Amino acid sequence: MTVLPNDHRSQPINLFEYETLAKDHLSKMALDYYSSGAWDEITLRDNRTAFERVKVRPRILVDVSDRNLTTSILGQPLQLPLLIAPMAFQCLAHPDGEVATALAAASAGVGMVLSTMATKSIEEVATACDKFPNSLRWFQLYIHKDRGLTRALVEKAYKAGYKALCLTVDAPVLGQRERDRRNEFTLPLDLHLANLATISELDISHEKGESGLFTYFAQQLNPAVTWHDLEWLQSLSPLPLVIKGILRGDDGVRAVEYGAKAIVVSNHGGRQLDGAIASLDALAEIVAAVNGKVEILLDGGIRRGTDILKALALGAKAVLIGRPILWGLAVSGQLGVSNVISLLQDELNVAMALSGCAKLDDIDPSLLILPRL
């Protein structure tokens, strides 16, 4: 396993440096798969610049000598308001893949959402984290055309001790990621869809001139899914349902009406509809619309502790982070993921102190100046 340099002056001191280093540890196909967005990648870039447009108005002369970053999501405690977003094919970054990511998350007291399209199975990840029985682990899924396959995935996740189902709703079809198409993306022969291989013959196949990922989505995911299917999904297990991929207030209200216990404001990291609103820009409307009836989380563009502060100030209970975790994983496996989490924790701690916030409840909209739209 690659380790970080012994000279601390050469170690990454922020998430951007991890991204730069990761490029030396990934194949072009893997790097493009992880980093690309849809079409012209406008939304991918806007997720980041949305945070840069929001400014902070710090409070002064507040006792911040003792700061508390802890919170809870769906009743489960977290050491800081952070979860790792569901990301496919993490073994492209490091042989330990999702297992390393899960162990780093559990060790740090943050949450992890395991992707349906993981390269380590539901059971492998759960077993690896046996010594962290109270860690927050959710399972992300899509509703497949084969309802039996969806049911089997839910049953496996429930049996393995996952605490919630995170349904991705913004991918009735796959966004057009042109870098993947140019690379004719497919998995290396030694990797497979670990959660599907044991219950079906599905895998990502390579077809000339086409992305194998696109072929999988086109063949297996169900573009006919509607709100009414959520009742069926919730009948499969007692696990609470988290809806990921909402960008409108009216859809947030519907999610509540159809039984969601939490919402993730997300545009799929800019990988689905290019030109879609940045996640941060959608947040306030959704928070207002659901009016405290469910917990709201946000993903897309988080790179600094100040970004977490801004998301919380606009009403998110926690954030999810994606690509930087992959950069840490590529550079040095579990240690790299742990360091990425630690950097964000330290930055949020400092940002809170400098903003006059001793605890997360002190973070509110009065801290921010929003751009004029």
Residue 349: CB atoms within 10 A of its CB come to: 16
Q: How far apart are alpha carbons 276 and 349 in whole angstroms?
A: 31
Q: Which long-range contacts (CB under 8 A, 24 or more apart) does 289-294 make?
A: 289/249, 289/250, 289/252, 289/253, 290/249, 290/252, 290/253, 290/255, 290/256, 290/263, 293/256, 294/255, 294/256, 294/260, 294/261, 294/262, 294/263
Q: Token pair 């800019």 is at which residue?
A: 270
Cα pseudo-dihedral 107, 125, 172, 323, rounded to 10: 40
- Of the chain, the end-to-end C-alpha distance in Å amounts to 47
Q: How far apart are alpha carbons 202 and 116 in whole angstroms?
A: 12
Nearest to 93 by CA among 18, 39, 34: 34
Residue 192 catalytic?
Answer: no
CB contact set of 54 (below 8 Å; sequence gap of 6+) = 280, 310, 368, 369, 370, 371
Instruction: Quote the crossing angle between the two packed helices 249-257 and 279-290, to the nearest 10°.
Output: 50
Q: Which of 94, 144, 192, 268 is catalytic?
A: 268
The Cα-based distances of 194 to 59, 97, 100 in angstroms read 49, 11, 15
Q: Which two tokens stand for residue 90?
A: 């993490």
The Cα-based distances of 220 to 138, 149, 223, 224, 271 in angstroms read 22, 10, 10, 12, 19
Task: Decide if 347 contacts 305 (C-beta within 8 A).
Answer: yes
Q: Are strands 164-168 and 262-265 parallel, antiparallel or unpaired?
A: unpaired
Q: Token pair 């742990």 is at which residue?
A: 338
Task: Decide if 241 contacts 167 (C-beta within 8 A).
Answer: yes
Query: What residues are annotated to the active site?
Result: 268
